[in-house]
Amino acid sequence: MTLEDAFAQLRAANVPVPKPRRLPTVEEVDAAERDLGVRFHTDYRRFQLEASNVHAGLLEPAVVLPEMTKYPYLDLRQTAATARSIGVPHDVVPFCQDNGDYFFIDADGRIGFWDYNGRSAIPLQKSLAEWIVDEWLVDLDEAG
């Protein structure tokens, strides 16, 4: 599964909303990296710049847009702060909250899952592309 394939599937599943989000600028992504003290993996950076405005399924990955501060669950900085306050390591990017648990991406582009109840990280051995298809878009089948 390539990232391009995953983005294509994600875009095909996009649900129109009254006020769609815009994509962030390179400068906004750079600022989020500085604020979080991490460098985003190339795949995650591409997701932010190319597909973070998609609305699909039940999961809602956080975004770097400054205007998202009024929606803490969608604001990457707030998502990371909350996740880190419950033990998610500072060297990963917790990008999607799921009922108190968090999906995160590490510096090598591997996706993991932080189990709030077990207070532990579970490596999923998936790339971001695989996560998009196997975790995010699979919700469409379950929700529909």
Q: Tell me the domains of the chain and their CATH numbers.
A: 3-143 (3.40.1580.10)
* Chain centre to alpha carbon of residue 114: 13
Write down the pLDDT at residue 141: 52
Within 8 A by CB and 6+ apart from 130, the residues are 1, 6, 111
CA distances from residue 129 to 2, 4, 31, 83, 135 in whole angstroms, order as listed: 6, 8, 24, 22, 10
Write down the pLDDT at residue 138: 86
Output phi, psi for 60, to 5 deg.
Answer: -135, 90
Segments of the chain with pLDDT less than 70: 139-144
Whether 92 contacts 46, CB under 8 Å: no
Write down the pLDDT at residue 12: 97
Write down the pLDDT at residue 119: 80
Output phi, psi for 122, to 5 deg.
Answer: -120, 110
* Chain centre to alpha carbon of residue 4: 16
Write down the pLDDT at residue 143: 46
- In this structure, which long-range contacts are made by residues 95-102, counting pairs with CB atoms below 8 Å and at least 24 apart in sequence? 95/44, 95/61, 95/62, 96/59, 96/60, 96/61, 96/62, 96/136, 97/62, 97/73, 98/59
Dig out the tokens for 60 from the structure.
């809602």
